[in-house]
Amino acid sequence: MKEKLKLVEEWDKEFPKSDKINHKKVTFKNHFGVTLVADMYEPKNYNGKLPALAVCGPYGAVKEQSSGLYAEEMAERGFLTMAFDPSFTGESGGTPRYMTSYDINVEDFQASVDYLIGLDNVDSEKIGIIGICGWGGIALQTACIDTRIKATICSTMYDMSRIAGNGYFDQDDNEEARYKQRVNLNNQRNKDYKNGNYALAGGVIDPLPENAPEFLKGYHDYYKTSRGYHERSLNSNGGWAIQTNTSMMNVRLFHYANEIRNAVMIVHGDKAHSFYMGKDAYNNMIKDSNYKDNKELVIVPNATHTDLYDQKDKIPFDKIEKFLKKNLTN
């Protein structure tokens, strides 16, 4: 049975619409049969075929938030871009809702590449991807498998498998802590089966406790205020299904990252709580690698994790553009 999607036609992004681009919504299926919905941004004036970018993230956000802002900005700089909602979230299809799986999420990026390559106005040899936050990690994982992607940008990235297995800052990196989490997840499975639905973990906490860490204050400022709140955003509302952690706990990402031959740039703020994940991912990627020359770590001074969601004075778009144009070559 064909999935019925409800697409919003009016502009409902958390950033202004540029008068330099054309915008439309598009749909396409991934290999798991899930229909994905994307916002496409196309420069109004161009000649010949365009380089193209698929953009996604942050983890738990929707395309009307940070990924759309990145996509629109890069379209103004001469790329055809597409910000998509991942499977089971936003306007995209798939049930049950608010679940995640690395296999499916990597396929979401690959399906977006399929779609871009099929467009008549896109140069199929000039395809890149941009992932933000948790989707920065998924972008890097996708680059491990998809040789069609000539350049990958991982902005303010998370390694969600590391967080799930070790806790924040690796503070729960021990067998006992992981065992307790496994027990809790499997108890939740029993409850969800009995209740006939999947309980949600809750989005960003609101109101904030007085002793909230700075990074949680940053999330609250983005997801829970007019700066970035969106009615379809998981982080702005009910959050992911609790059981979604099952997938994340049972795998580790980036095993083949040092075999990536195409270009990768990791962008991170030096004040971000997640900075250690970006640095470690970069070091893992270049360790014992024969392909270091097209890998780059860009450290943004005085930038926090969420600064790189939407603060255009801190997101290094000039460097990102230069890197992409250098590496998206035939």
pLDDT at 4: 84
pLDDT at 99: 95
pLDDT at 330: 58
pLDDT at 204: 97
The fold of 21-159+254-327 is Rossmann fold (3.40.50)
pLDDT at 1: 57
pLDDT at 180: 96
For the chain, the three-class secondary structure string (H helix, E strand, C coil) is CCCCCCCCCCCCCCCCCCCCEEEEEEEEECCCCCEEEEEEEEECCCCCCEEEEEEECCCCCCCCCHHHHHHHHHHHCCCEEEEECCCCCCCCCCCCCCCCCHHHHHHHHHHHHHHHHCCCCEEEEEEEEEEECHHHHHHHHHHHHCCCCCEEEEECCCCHHHHHHHCHHHCCCCHHHHHHHHHHHHHHHHHHHHHCCCCECCCCCCCCCCCCCHHHHHHHHHHCCCCCCCCCCCCCCCCCEHHHHHHHHCCCCCCCHHHCCCEEEEEEECCCCCHHHHHHHHHHHHCCCCCCCCEEEEEECCCCCCHHHHCCCCCCHHHHHHHHHHHCCC
pLDDT digits over 15-31, tens only? 999 999 999 999 999 99
Question: Which residues of the chain fall below pLDDT 50?
Answer: none
pLDDT at 246: 87
pLDDT at 239: 97
pTM above 0.85, yes or no: yes
* Domain map (residue ranges) of the chain: 21-159+254-327
